[in-house]
Amino acid sequence: MSAVLFPGQGSQRPGMGAELFERHPELTARACDVLGYDLPELCARNPDGRLDDTRCTQPALYVVNALSYVDSLERGAPAGDYLLGHSLGEYNALHAAGAFDFETGLKLVLKRGELMSRAGGGAMLAVLGTSRAELRALLVEHGLTDLDLANINTDAQLVLSGERERIERAQQVLGEQDVRVARLKVSAAFHSRHMAPARDEFAAFLKGFRFAPLRATVIANLTARPYAERDLAATLSEQIAGSVRWLDSVRYLLRHTGLDDCREVGDTQVLTRMVRQIEATPEAAEPRPRLFCVAYAGGDERAYAGLAEHTDLDVAVLERPGHGARISEPLLTDPGAIVDDLLAQLRDRLDRPYALYGHSLGARLAFLLCHRIREEGLPAPAHLLVSGESGPSLPSRERDTWRLPTAEFWAHLDRLGGLPAELREHADLLAFYERILRADFTALGAYRHPRVPPLDVPITALSGEDEWFTGDDIGAWQRESTRPLRTHRFPGDHFFIREQWPALARIAGSAFAA
């Protein structure tokens, strides 16, 4: 099995590609037509330093990488069973795998560079010789949790991304701790939450494209797993604001193929050196981050089984009394009592990074749980993910559902889309679950919004396009956090999550980047 690596931004240099442009005049001419300028001239002369301008850097590197790959094939090198690119290089990996043709890839990269270059005011800082856990601890200790881990290149080569003033503060703090740091020559906070506007605009741009089936395995920076073809557009857009998990991606590669037949296109060999470092470092037995999940009304420990199938996170469902494995316990209808119970389940399991996720009723309970965790002085979650619910300061649309007569109650649940058809055929099962569901909806009706300061926890709100929520309903989650709110909309109704587990897993994984 062979592997091919494609470098990303940072490997550009004046004079790059000169011989390739000469050997591949047709592709070079097509690239110049798309770009509207003389690319060989730009690479040869670097006028006004434009080669370091993201708008030019990304398309230039894409073309040079593509020509280098084509050139290697003509010289008899294998196409590669596994393809892996670093950030921008991922576009070359997808091009090599046949996801899109040369010009289409260049158009995508051109737009990506344009959008990313608009985000000013940010900076990036390379941190050398310290582990992820050590760096996170230092950031927490010095109140720098608003910085994101943009690149996880090796066990000891990390890159922080964030507002320029905060990066300068991190540079000072880490320097005082004798941690080696180096500022990157970039003008924005790439691969961080500050790229959210670029990510969203790029996602809209990608809707105008269709992608072909992949001919080889392409490992995604964002997930460190092979691309799922149906999620190709979403993964590409999310990558802009998500971490480049190069270390984990290479580890995945090493578990599936050796390095004897691994080559890097171009002549920098920066990726090859990182791969050798990773190969020489035993894989640390770091515990998997936990994702504590709170089920929706009627849900039990199986509610998030689909999510667990698509993520390396340790998915732990906090089950309410009277549900699933706790079916023999009395049902609870008071939100405070439920949150007490949820807190008891996780209190002694906060020994590693964790996040909270809740859908519908579970979203409000997870939100209240965040506040209880803060009140107790326990370690805060890395992220709160919520779906299928408006901001909790707004009254729930389902607050009176528990009052409905039986026939109307079931008809309403049918419209919500969460009722298995076979359940309607068994009166005894209906009666059994009606008791559980009514208790859960009673808890939703009893919800009272806490008048407390917002959380210092990033929130991501997910919703279905066919749900009843307006943009303002979802945007109301912003009131609950001092951090910028992230939102995603998916096709589907209130239970869109059942068709979107891979995407939700990807978003949950990226929630630990901060």
pLDDT in tens, 320-349: 999 988 999 999 999 999 999 999 999 999
pLDDT in tens, 211-251: 999 999 999 998 888 887 778 998 899 899 888 999 989 98
Q: Give the closest residue to 388 by CA, choosing from 511, 477, 289.
A: 477
191, 310, 323, 494: which is the annotated catalytic residue?
191
Q: Please tell me whether residue 40 adopts helix, strand or coil conformation.
A: helix
pLDDT value of residue 258: 67
Rg (CA), the chain: 25
Share of the chain above pLDDT 90, in %: 59
Banded model confidence at residue 286, pLDDT cuts 50, 70, 90:
low
How many CB atoms within 10 Å of residue 435? 10
Query: Looking at residues 465-478, what average pLDDT do you find?
Result: 93
- Average confidence score pLDDT of the chain: 90
At residue 208's C-alpha, the angle toward residues 207 and 209, to 5°, is 90
d(CA 480, CA 473): 13
Banded model confidence at residue 82, pLDDT cuts 50, 70, 90:
very high
How many CB atoms within 10 Å of residue 276? 15
Banded model confidence at residue 186, pLDDT cuts 50, 70, 90:
confident
11, 68, 87, 249: which is the annotated catalytic residue?
87
Q: For the whole model, what pTM was predicted?
A: 0.69
pLDDT in tens, 4-55: 999 998 888 889 999 999 999 999 999 999 999 999 999 999 888 888 888 9
Out of 126-130, 159-163, 409-413, pick the least confident. Answer: 409-413
What are the strands, taking DSSP E only, across 56-206? 82-85, 122-128, 148-154, 157-163, 180-183
191 is catalytic: yes
Angle of helix 89-96 relative to helix 102-118, nearest 10 degrees, comes to 160
pLDDT value of residue 514: 47
